[in-house]
Chain A
Amino acid sequence: MAAGETFEEFKDSFSYGSRTDLAFKFLKKLAPDDAARFFAELLTKLGETVDDGDARRLVDHAIEWQARAYAPAPGEQRPWAYDDGPFTPMPAPLADARIALLTSSGHFVAGADPAPFGAAGMTQDEAIARIGEFIRAAPDLSEIPAATPPGDLRVRHGGYDIRAAEADPDAAFPLARLRELAAEGHIGSVADPAFSFVGATSQKRVLATAPAWADRLAAAGADAVLLVPV
């Protein structure tokens, strides 16, 4: 730790601070006491793993504390809460249905960079540095031809750890898996194109633009939409 740095400053530094790590930015959301428990229990489990080699408990620990960090505080009002929600029945059996894919993972096809804020070739590090601008801006929906091989996909998103989505797009943008399910007749077909946007964006602008996205999905012949947030 830096000279004079408190534990609170240390755990907060993982969220867009000196130790930015989008996998562990949730530490900032934990109260200092809870963050201390996270580390203490992590070390206990690490000690157990030293002896039996079972790292599963470490993964589970991270997932469990990530969920705790994002859970609402008691009595917290959530601006996105609704009393009820729409439900549209399926128009056709799954085996006959054309399924569209839409994710907030920030994937796009190599050579078709959406160039947020006019910045062509923006790097992941630049996207992280400009996260505040993303959150105020309108989202940009990238079209991805349904036949795109995974190797032609790129991902950039300043709000989450993209390493898995970059190494294997299907971890967050399951287009290849969907094609397999269509080839085997589990679903009728995959709508062309598939879509992705950077989910760290203005909620007001998402609501304003989503009806136009519905039109684009309908134009792609979608009977239903598989949504994958990250």
Chain B
Amino acid sequence: MCHVSVGHVARVLEERGLPTVGVYVQAFRHVVDEMVLPRAVITPHFMGRPLGPPGDAARQRAVLEVALDLLDSATTRTVVELPYAEKTQAGSSTTGRVSGQ
């Protein structure tokens, strides 16, 4: 239900001219498509840890960089799925599968 709540917020913000990007865990992948959300990163994490495990700042940062970079790069609806990376080195790039409309 949390994911649907945030999906509704995303749609209202976009309608009012504020671009958004969301970080969604795998369990709610389908909500991103059902709600036709504009920009999303799907992370292979357990619910309650969308950015990654507690204490793993490098992983959290890598997820954030992918999400924020979508704001710059996406010119149409874009969803990126991140592969699992146990220990992400700070500064390394995290690539994911990109799907559009």
User: Which positions in A face B, CB cutoff 8 Å?
Assistant: 22-23, 26, 56, 59-60, 62-63, 66-67, 69-72, 78, 80-91, 93-94, 97, 99, 102-104, 135, 139, 159-165, 167-168, 170-172, 174, 177-178, 180-181, 186-187, 197, 199-201, 203, 206-207, 210-211, 213-214, 217-218, 222-230
Q: Residue B21 contacts which of A83, A171, A226 (CB distance < 8 angstroms)?
A: A226
Cα A70 to Cα B2 with chains together (Å): 13
12 of the cross-chain contacts (CB-CB < 8 Å) are: A67-B27, A86-B15, A88-B38, A102-B9, A164-B53, A174-B64, A186-B65, A199-B5, A217-B13, A226-B21, A226-B64, A227-B6
Count residues on chain B whose CB falls below 8 Å from chain A CBs. 62
Residues from chain A with Cβ under 8 Å of B69 in the complex: 94
Would A94 and B26 count as touching, CB distance under 8 A? no
Q: How far is the CB of B101 from chain A (nearest CB, A)?
A: 10
Q: Residue A80 contacts which of B8, B17, B51, B67 (CB distance < 8 angstroms)?
A: B8
B3-58 contacts to A (CB < 8 Å):
3-24, 26-31, 34-38, 44-55, 57
Residues from chain B with Cβ under 8 Å of A197 in the complex: 5
Q: Tell me how many residue pairs across A and B have CB atoms closer than 8 Å.
A: 223
Residues from chain B with Cβ under 8 Å of A81 in the complex: 34-35
Would B71 and A94 count as touching, CB distance under 8 A? yes
Would A23 and B47 count as touching, CB distance under 8 A? yes
Residues from chain B with Cβ under 8 Å of A62 in the complex: 46
Task: Using CB atoms, name the residue of chain B closest to A63.
Answer: B46
Residues from chain B with Cβ under 8 Å of A213 in the complex: 9, 12-13
Q: How far is the CB of B41 from chain A (nearest CB, A)?
A: 10
**3 closest cross-chain pairs (CB), A and B:** A199-B2, A85-B36, A168-B54
Q: Residue B23 contacts which of A87, A180, A227 (CB distance < 8 angstroms)?
A: A227
Would B9 and A85 count as touching, CB distance under 8 A? no
Task: Using CB atoms, name the residue of chain A closest to B76.
Answer: A87
B60 within 8 A of A: yes
Would A159 and B61 count as touching, CB distance under 8 A? no
Would A224 and B21 count as touching, CB distance under 8 A? yes
Task: Using CB atoms, name the residue of chain A closest to B44.
Answer: A63
Residues from chain A with Cβ under 8 Å of B54 in the complex: 163-165, 167-168, 171
Would A85 and B18 count as touching, CB distance under 8 A? no
Would B7 and A80 count as touching, CB distance under 8 A? yes
Would B20 and A224 count as touching, CB distance under 8 A? yes
| With known contacts A177-B57, A214-B12, A224-B18, A160–B31 Cβ distance under 8 A | no
Residues from chain B with Cβ under 8 Å of A201 in the complex: 1, 5
Q: Residue B60 contacts which of A91, A171, A210 (CB distance < 8 angstroms)?
A: A171
